[in-house]
């Protein structure tokens, strides 16, 4: 399945049905009077969060969604049937924006959460509605109200506990593949990963949902490379795993590059807890490894983990450190009454 995290969709709610002009006509009943029924209400357009989806690829192939028109009123005071609704099923973590792609309509953060994007038009009144003492035989009825049409943007931000960031070829996909059942593409050239990958890692009976973000380069927050498009996927994470490759000529420069991009992007990424690790450590001898560790400790002010996905060195301690931070964040959210750290939700 292809990954797509942004889609433009046209929606239209259903028109209301027209009211009916009708008169009661029965044998032996003179001046039966008006009996035109009202029109039915048009269908609504809803968004609903569902599990089992992690892409918006369906909305690349179908981009127009229109709810049904309400049924027209009929004689004998029969009201038209309501139009059927249209439900856009989206992955949990989807944000929906107005056509300007900036004004947030709603944020779908839970399975089963629904939001009405466009209300159907009300049905028109039949002529029975207009009967009065001075107008005993009205011969007019209302048309139904038109539905609402608009263009919206769907933007997916994956919901994960931890996000893996770093320069291209920092070993992010290799780390994810070694601790989860995810099978991202792995190769020895930059930008092997072209879209985020999700996996679930287990440590000490705790599951950690991890997101591997395509490699960042200098200027990513301004649109350089491909990482800026996917930085939004780590906005919801509780902790970042920052990998610096042992193959980098200067580990301190590599670290500062990624930290600069996270802080320049904003949205709280620069303030998130961070686990720093020297990856691909199996490629270095003892002296070179100590020098890289010294560089990272000097620039970050904290000792980095030393990892090797090939030999398994340092993998479990790093996962335990991630699990501790995630558990502490969840406990703090629970104590403060927050909704498990989720972003604010707009509801209908």
Which CATH number characterizes residue 24's domain?
2.70.210.12
Q: Is 348 a member of any domain?
A: no
Query: According to the model, what pLDDT value does residue 189 have?
Result: 46
Low-confidence ranges of the chain (pLDDT < 70): 1-2, 184-195, 215, 217-229, 337-348
pLDDT of residue 187: 55
* Rounded Cα gap, residues 190 and 193, in angstroms: 8
List of E strands, 157-273: 162-165, 197-203, 206-212, 239-245
pLDDT at 342: 44
Residues 223, 187 share a domain: yes
DSSP 184: -
Q: What is the number of structural domains in the chain?
A: 2
Domain-located, residue 77: yes
Residues 190 and 135 in one domain: no
Is residue 22 situated within a structural domain? yes
Of 130, 156, 182, which residue is a domain's last? 156
**Whole-angstrom distance, CA of residue 68 vs CA of residue 195:** 36
Instruction: Show the domain range for 8.
Output: 1-156
Last residue within a domain, chosen from 129, 156, 183? 156
The predicted structure's pLDDT at residue 348: 42
One domain for residues 208 and 131: no
Same domain, 115 and 245: no
* Residue 198 sits in the same domain as residue 72: no
Residues 326 and 181 grouped into a single domain? yes
Task: Give the start-end residues of each E strand in 92-250.
Answer: 94-97, 104-108, 114-118, 149-156, 162-165, 197-203, 206-212, 239-245
Query: Within a domain: residue 183?
Result: yes
User: Are residues 189 and 121 part of one domain?
Assistant: no
> What was the pLDDT predicted at 338?
54
Torsion (CA) 51, 55, 58, 64 in degrees, nearest 10:
100
- Decide which of 156, 171, 206 is a domain's last residue: 156
Structure confidence at residue 215 (pLDDT): 66
Placement of tokens 């002009």 in the chain: 21
Residue 146: predicted pLDDT = 97
Q: What is the torsion angle, in degrees rounded to the nearest 10, for the CA atoms of residue 118, residue 120, residue 121 and residue 123?
A: -170
Are residue 322 and residue 291 in the same domain, yes or no?
yes
**In this structure, is residue 345 part of a structural domain?**
no
Looking at the domain assignment, is residue 342 inside a domain?
no
Same domain, 182 and 321: yes
Q: Do residue 129 and residue 194 come from a single domain?
A: no
Could you tell me if 187 and 138 lie in one domain?
no
pTM for the predicted model, two decimal places: 0.76
The answer to whether residue 321 is domain-embedded is yes
Q: What is the pLDDT of residue 129?
A: 94
165 DSSP β-pair partners: 242
Q: Bridge partners of 10? A: 64, 151
Residue 255 lies in a domain: yes
CATH no. for residue 181? 3.40.50.300
Residue 17 shares a structural domain with residue 71: yes
């Amino acid at each position: 399945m292809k990954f797509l995290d942004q889609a433009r969709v046209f929606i239209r709610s259903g028109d209301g049905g027209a009211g009916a002009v009708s008169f009661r006509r029965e044998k032996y009943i003179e001046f039966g009077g008006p009996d035109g029924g009202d029109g039915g209400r048009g269908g609504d357009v809803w968004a609903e969060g569902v599990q089992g989806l992690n892409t918006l690829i369906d909305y690349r192939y179908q981009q127009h969604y229109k709810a049904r028109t309400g049924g027209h009123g009929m004689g004998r005071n029969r009201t038209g049937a309501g139009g059927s609704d249209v439900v856009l099923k989206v992955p949990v973590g989807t944000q929906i924006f107005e056509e300007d792609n900036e004004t947030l309509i709603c944020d779908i953060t839970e399975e089963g959460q629904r939001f009405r994007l466009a209300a159907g038009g009300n049905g028109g009144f039949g002529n029975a509605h207009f009967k009065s003492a001075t107008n005993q035989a009205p011969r007019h009825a209302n048309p139904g109200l038109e539905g609402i049409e608009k263009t919206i943007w769907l933007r997916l931000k994956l919901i994960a506990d931890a996000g893996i960031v770093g320069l291209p070829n920092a070993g992010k996909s290799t780390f994810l593949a070694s601790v989860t059942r995810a099978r991202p593409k792995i190769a020895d050239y930059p930008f092997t990963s072209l879209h985020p990958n999700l996996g679930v890692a287990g440590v000490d009976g705790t599951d950690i949902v991890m997101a591997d973000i395509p490699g960042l380069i200098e200027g990513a927050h301004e649109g350089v490379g491909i990482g800026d498009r996917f930085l939004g996927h780590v906005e919801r994470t509780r902790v970042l795993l920052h990998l610096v490759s042992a193959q980098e000529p200067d580990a301190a420069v590599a670290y500062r590059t990624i930290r600069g991009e996270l802080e320049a992007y904003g949205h709280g990424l620069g303030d998130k807890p961070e686990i720093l690790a020297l990856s691909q450590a199996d490629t270095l001898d003892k002296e070179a490894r100590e020098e890289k560790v010294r560089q990272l400790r000097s620039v970050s002010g904290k000792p980095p983990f030393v990892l090797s996905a090939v030999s398994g060195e340092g993998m479990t301690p790093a996962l335990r450190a991630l699990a501790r931070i995630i558990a502490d964040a969840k406990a703090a959210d629970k104590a403060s009454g927050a909704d498990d750290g989720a972003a604010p939700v707009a509801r209908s």
